[in-house]
A and B are shown apart, each in its own frame.
Chain A
Amino acid sequence: MPADGSPLDAFPASSRAPDAALHQHEMLAAFAELAILSEDIDLLLQEACDYVRRAVGADIVLLYRQNADRRSVELRAGAGIAPSLIGSHIAQGNDQSLESRLLRDGEPVIVPDVRDEPRLETRGLLRSFDQRGLALIPLRDGPGTPMLGLLHISTCAPRDFSAEFAFLRIYASLVAASMLRIDALRRRRDEQAARERSEWQLRLVLEGIPQLVWCAEPGAQWRWMGPQWTEVTGRDPDSSLGRGWLDAVHPEDAVAVEEAWGAAEARGIFEVECRIWHQHDGTYRWYQGRALPTAFELGEPTWVGTFTDVEDLRALEARQAVLVAELQHRTRNLLAVVEGIALQTMAAADSQEAFETSFHDRLQALARAQRLLSGSEKLTLRHLLETERDALGIVDRESLITLDGPDVLLPSTMVQTLALMIHELATNSRKHGVIARGAGRIAIRWQVNVTGGEPMLDLAWEETGDWPAPAADSRRGFGRELIERALPFQLGASSDYRIAAGAVTCRLHVPLGGAA
């Protein structure tokens, strides 16, 4: 059954006509052209069946392909049968059958009447299709080439195909040659597609990984680099080849890079950290370079390497080192301060109980200051004062104690000492002043003035109320020591602290400094 528009349409089914020989030759030539050009095996096989059937006037023409097990064949195309039969398999059960010998040794089979030939395995099958005249031609390209299958030609009436044998062989050879050719073509295309897929994946990795990838010959001579290099450095590949890439390395790191190359062969690895120019940042960034020797050619390795951006990692490491140092400093200083406060408190205390209370309260003030210091936000003076006021734990604290001043960021060096000072003034008030009596007013006011180009904080504690003048005390208390000696020493402050009947004032003039 020829497809629409098949060249076969040009040939009427009149193979037994007087000009049959010429007709057969014309058809063979047409089929040969088709076979040579075809790239579709199934189509070609079907055409072959149709051509042969019409050329020799057969009732059934079939093309079987030998399976890989060499013990069975598959019907791949047929003319004169129901198309649904295509795809069925026939197994060879008898080694000595004509079909088996054909497939094994390439011996063609010509049987004028299958009823007379018991060596045919498929006799029953043929009978069920009412076929009697039979020719089976091996499908092979020539001696020494693989047996691909067989061409089956049969008729309802008995018929001897000896006369057409040579002719049928040519059809079979054409089909076999085309099958081999198309198989090879398909294999080549599959291989090419697989290669392209694999190359595509390789390129995806090479160009997609967030690293600068490169290959070098000994002596830091680059011979290939991934597009990341150009993307990062802004340098075109040509000028980076050879030792050109070194121009993108920070001059101060050139020695380290050369040394790493010098040591690479003996170490079996190239390893360096260096800065590489970054066109987007407009600055150098730190990279870790690594390469291994691979693919030796004539004893010389090709170095395959990467540069990995470690700028953020290094910044984190540096920051961590600073934090560790700061932590050590703060912790051990804090211990020294606690020791100092203990000694001072002891020296000023009248009794064990008085020491315990005062020491405990001062440690609490210190702890509050530490909490403020370890917070992540910038600390303002108002925040510090509010923290100390809240810590008093008295209900009417906001009416007794007023805060008035601008937002001032406190340098961390000031926090602890200022907190202790406020704590001492509040403790005094709790004993003798406004807080003790629940009457009067504590006004805390502050402002920042710039003198001589340096910002100075003026902080005043003004406590007014009704209480008698304190008894004169020859000993300098902890609070007074803090205000009059520690603040000037530690913060470069000047201070003025007065206690009188009904009035406590403490004024502080302290440089805010530049450092936070």
Chain B
Amino acid sequence: MSGGAGEVEDGTLAGRRLLVCEDEFYVAVRLERALLDAGANVTLFASLAPALAHAEREDSPDAALLDINLRGELSFPLADTLLARGVPVIFLSGYDTATIPPAYRDVARLQKPVTLAQLTGRLGELLRR
């Protein structure tokens, strides 16, 4: 676990709207805290159905951070929806590459457990493009 969220904070995340899906409370709370600290607006979901409904209804977020396994459901349909709307997606997952379907192997991915520096750094990279 490396330090706080601020160490690579360069303001890229400030004011950005981020969709975060993570079903593990303690992980979700940490992610939310770090992203809020970096100035982002965070919408947090623990399960697939409400997140899908949100993604289809609301304006597209600037980026999305998705746990692959949400209470036993895979978040790939949500990734499809977001990617189709041009929203950059990062998978957050405990799965090895081998267990990820080939169609999603090119999507950005962070391995759990993730450091907050990795998280904000990777999100910043995607958003600066």
Contact = CB atoms under 8 A, between A and B. Distances in A.
A431 B26 CA distance: 25
Contact of B112 (A335, A343, A344, A515): A335
Nearest to B100: A325
B95 A336 contact: no
Contacts of B1: 339
Contact of B25 (A321, A332, A339, A489): A489
Interface stretch (B27-35, B75-83, B118-126): B27-35
A344 B71 contact: no
A340 B29 contact: yes
A331 B26 CA distance: 15
Contacts of A335: 112-113
Interface in B32-75: 44, 46-47, 69, 71-72
A342 to B, nearest CB: 9
Nearest to A344: B26
Interface residues of A, number: 26
B49 to A, nearest CB: 10
Given A325-B95, A336-B113, A486 B71 contact: no
Contacts of A482: 25
B10 interface: no
Chain B CB count within 10 A is highest, among A324, A329, A341, for A329
A24 B25 CA distance: 121
Interface of B: 1, 23-30, 44, 46-47, 69, 71-72, 93-96, 99, 111-113
Given A343-B30, A489-B46, A333 B24 contact: yes
Interface in A320-334: 321, 324-325, 328-333
Given A339-B26, A486-B26, A328 B95 contact: yes
Contacts of B94: 328-333
Contacts of B113: 332, 335-336, 339
A246 B46 CA distance: 49
A337 B99 contact: no
B2 to A, nearest CB: 12
A490 interface: yes
A341 B26 contact: yes
Given A337-B26, A417-B25, 10 more contacts: A321-B99, A332-B112, A335-B112, A337-B27, A340-B24, A340-B29, A344-B29, A482-B25, A486-B26, A492-B46
B26 A340 contact: yes
A319 interface: no
Nearest to B114: A336
Contacts of A515: 71-72
Contacts of A332: 93-94, 111-113
Contacts of B30: 339-340, 343
B58 to A, nearest CB: 20
B12 to A, nearest CB: 24
Contact of A336 (B26, B44, B69, B72): B26
Contacts of B27: 333, 336-337, 340
A272 to B, nearest CB: 22
A492 B70 CA distance: 13
A490 B112 contact: no
